[in-house]
A = this chain, B = another copy of it.
């Protein structure tokens, strides 16, 4: 049910945005938005009223998601939203230099993140803290960069996730190369790369599709179209829905409601299965919305409508699952309390991890530039250490 090169235009029949509320992406730009976006088919299993829509194709892919599993997905989303809020608070309190909130994108990240196997490998951008959570990251590690204590928070091999990429789009090539390595190893794991709508304009992302198609690499291009690239609306980057890009490279693609955690899980699983069985790459466009600022340094009121935000608040990814759980009698006080307790505990652990983070030593500035000895750097380090030592109080006679 993916939009592939043999069936251009084919897509899921599971629902589409009603014309009136189509995310047009045209706010605040002189460029026409992707005009037909609202008419394009979108995979959706749970709508924003919390109604579960049956879907012949995708239901099979989430058949194992029973009530308990749905509760777990909801818990995940609550927890990562809480992590996001706590980190934002830490920034406001001066404990972090900067923070890129994922508010609104929980379903896209949890739905896809929970589909992965531990031996899959993720190459993400800077906003995928919920994916890192799914990978089992130590909580404090996601703050290290933003507190200014490191250029990356964790050892990528411990959770099979590269540390956040700041150069827009660069990581899509890393994922593709990694996936080429998977082929050579004869393994059946998959590389998954996350990037934004803005990133699709970068040469790197398009070249990654060329290489992925050429080598039939087991890589998933997971694009979170959150409608904004800082102040630039998606309509500036793409005149037609982003998912249509991939088939032109020979890569099947699918457009999914990025605020529907179940649908995100389903399409990611389908793509993973294709990749594992030698079917090559898949492109997923998760249509979602950045409800917060680009980062805590950004002021979105300068460039976007309050109305747009309101529209999207009505499609909140958490609220719809809460409604669904409620309708299934799965949102009882015990469960709700447990979820809240979990979120509280995670937030406390996050804060504690932040505040207790050890400070780097001056000499760390020279470490790990090279893995082998380097004469230039050793000389500089030696000079600098002698310089720092020159500030130490001179040894005094008669004292110990």
Which residues on A are within 8 Å of B, measured CB to CB? 5-6, 8-9, 31, 34, 36, 200-204, 206-207, 210, 213-215, 236-240, 244-250
| With A245-B248, A250-B238: A207-B214 Cβ-Cβ less than 8 Å | no
Q: Which residue of B lies closest to A209 (CB)?
A: B206
A-B contact pairs, 17 of them (CB 8 A): A5-B36, A5-B239, A5-B244, A8-B244, A9-B9, A31-B214, A200-B210, A202-B203, A203-B207, A206-B207, A210-B237, A214-B237, A240-B248, A244-B247, A245-B249, A246-B248, A248-B249
Q: How far is the CB of A38 from chain B (nearest CB, A)?
A: 14
B contact residues around A210 at 8 Å (CB): 200-201, 237-238
B contact residues around A250 at 8 Å (CB): 34, 238-240
Q: How far is the CB of A170 from chain B (nearest CB, A)?
A: 11
B contact residues around A31 at 8 Å (CB): 214-215
Q: Which residue of B lies closest to A201 (CB)?
A: B210
Whether the Cβ atoms of B239 and A214 lie closer than 8 Å is: yes
16 additional contacts, CB 8 Å, given A5-B244, A31-B214?
Answer: A5-B36, A201-B207, A202-B203, A203-B203, A203-B204, A206-B206, A206-B207, A213-B238, A213-B239, A214-B239, A238-B250, A240-B247, A240-B249, A240-B250, A245-B249, A248-B249
Q: Which residue of B lies closest to A239 (CB)?
A: B250
A9–B8 Cα distance when bound, in Å, is 7
Q: How far is the CB of A65 from chain B (nearest CB, A)?
A: 32
Whether the Cβ atoms of A239 and B248 lie closer than 8 Å is: no
B contact residues around A9 at 8 Å (CB): 8-9
B contact residues around A240 at 8 Å (CB): 5, 247-250
B contact residues around A207 at 8 Å (CB): 201-203, 206
A127–B333 Cα distance when bound, in Å, is 73
A155–B200 Cα distance when bound, in Å, is 36
Q: Which residue of B lies closest to A283 (CB)?
A: B248
A9–B244 Cα distance when bound, in Å, is 12
B contact residues around A213 at 8 Å (CB): 238-239
Q: How far is the CB of A201 from chain B (nearest CB, A)?
A: 5
A204–B249 Cα distance when bound, in Å, is 15
A245–B246 Cα distance when bound, in Å, is 8
A247–B240 Cα distance when bound, in Å, is 8
Q: How far is the CB of A234 from chain B (nearest CB, A)?
A: 11
B contact residues around A245 at 8 Å (CB): 248-249
B contact residues around A201 at 8 Å (CB): 207, 210
A89–B249 Cα distance when bound, in Å, is 40
Whether the Cβ atoms of B248 and A236 lie closer than 8 Å is: no
Q: How far is the CB of A216 from chain B (nearest CB, A)?
A: 8
**Most chain B CB within a 10 A radius of its CB, from A210, A214, A215, A248:** A248
B contact residues around A206 at 8 Å (CB): 203, 206-207
| With A9-B8, A206-B206: A244-B238 Cβ-Cβ less than 8 Å | no
A250–B238 Cα distance when bound, in Å, is 7
B contact residues around A36 at 8 Å (CB): 5-6
A249–B201 Cα distance when bound, in Å, is 10
A34–B215 Cα distance when bound, in Å, is 13
Q: Which residue of B lies closest to A243 (CB)?
A: B248
Whether the Cβ atoms of A8 and B8 lie closer than 8 Å is: yes
A215–B239 Cα distance when bound, in Å, is 10
Closest 3 A/B residue pairs (Cβ):
A203-B203, A239-B250, A8-B8
Whether the Cβ atoms of B248 and A247 lie closer than 8 Å is: yes
A202–B214 Cα distance when bound, in Å, is 14
